[in-house]
A and B are shown apart, each in its own frame.
Chain A
């Protein structure tokens, strides 16, 4: 059976680049990532991208909600969701197509930071290329998890601002869990740590690809995408 995921994906990509959304978010992303990762780069005098890998997750907090906020909320508000879902297109195809499109935009943003990667590779000594590749893989997986959360937030409302705030809050919770461990009782701290995105991202960006980390990100993505599909299907509740 043919799938419409590709069509939805293409539609979203062209809609990103037809409007100002893609350009503005990309520029802001690159300015922030470039400044915060490179301003101390030569002072630290290390041949790695630790700075970049620690700043991008923070930029994600606002960048990803900005990319995903309109994806479903706007279609609900404009009524185009009714037009789209009454064609032979499934809710899952819509959600997955939109997810892949925004992940592609994040991929493009990361691609632009390759200027930093090349700088390190060209002028650095003892460059651990494996760790760098793992770091980028980690950023992509992290971006995927946050994007799934953003799409979920966009599916619960028809208001883009609400979608932005909801996704920012959920992402912030995942982001902060492993940074507040000293305030939580011991038996909770392992759970908090394991639930946090930061813990898994850091494991990967150290250069170790552990299946547990991959499974974690895959689960977060699957969970929030499934939730979004269920939310869309809620209109068919009797």
Chain B
């Protein structure tokens, strides 16, 4: 289990992480979601001992990154953002170098490299220089070096950024396969990415945790309101505005009149379903309902709400 405990990081006077807390359970794939600059990479860099926290700590079981950095690094496989690799090495030499640094038994290095090549689908490029490979292949080499020592924990920072849709699908598949046996922390600024791979997600924004839970939990918690869009004929504005008399939880979000048609947008919490009452109300007033459609807030809206409306950045 990984426990991020009150983690705070300053870059000079800039507060990048503001005492964040969350946990990654053993064997789960946790998505770490947030807009660019939210603090995802910083958290991962502290977890992998590239940086040190200003305050707080990260615990991996009973080890922590401040006192047991070396030991923790042995248990981690890390794919940094932008996937830095030694481009002048061949895939095989590179994996061999990593295998040696990772203290794999000399006798089993060759077998292990072959396994990794198999898992990551690198057969065609084994003896080619990394620098000439496509981005998708480079990403697989990056994943390969991260898993070569069969670590318990995988930390993947934006593993699919910059890839084309086919490559994204392949890498996601690979991550899911790896995630069956390992604890995986995967970061992304793209919601679909996390939705496609993770069991649970932590949303971070401006250095603070904005939400933490499974997809369903987050939906239930933040979905909040249902939007009801209606198109009516033969109605009158003042009566339409009095719709909330049916149920005080209903809000009129938008009302437009065009010729003799009205476009009405209502919003109400998803704990109630007043559609029948609204229908009755319309019939009693002799309105003609041309259209009535309900839309639920998507997780995308939740993400936007959490990261943009709380004063977050608009850069993605």
Contacts and interface: CB of A to CB of B under 8 A. Distances in A.
Interface of A: 2, 4, 7, 11, 14-15, 18-19, 78-83, 85-90, 235-238
Contact of A19 (B48, B88, B145): B88
Interface stretch (B21-29, B68-76, B225-233): B68-76
A86 B101 contact: no
Given A15-B86, A235-B50, A87 B102 contact: yes
A89 B85 CA distance: 16
B180 interface: no
A88 B74 contact: yes
B190 interface: no
A23 to B, nearest CB: 14
Interface residues of B, number: 31
B70 A88 contact: yes
B221 interface: no
Contact of A83 (B53, B85, B100, B102): B85
Contacts of B101: 4, 7, 87-89
B64 interface: no
Nearest to B47: A86
Given A4-B101, A7-B100, A238-B54, A86 B86 contact: no
Interface of B: 10, 45, 48-55, 70, 73-74, 76, 78, 80, 82, 84-89, 93, 97-98, 100-103, 145
**Which secondary structure dominates chain B's binding surface?**
loop
| A-B residue pairs, 4 tightest by C-beta | A79-B84, A86-B48, A236-B52, A80-B84
Nearest to A79: B84
Contact of B82 (A2, A7, A79, A236): A79
B102 A18 contact: no
Nearest to B70: A88
B98 A87 contact: yes
Given A89-B101, A90-B70, A83 B52 contact: no
Contacts of B70: 88, 90
Contacts of B85: 80, 83
A164 to B, nearest CB: 20
B88 A82 contact: no
Given A2-B103, A86-B78, A15 B88 contact: yes
Nearest to A10: B97
Nearest to A11: B97
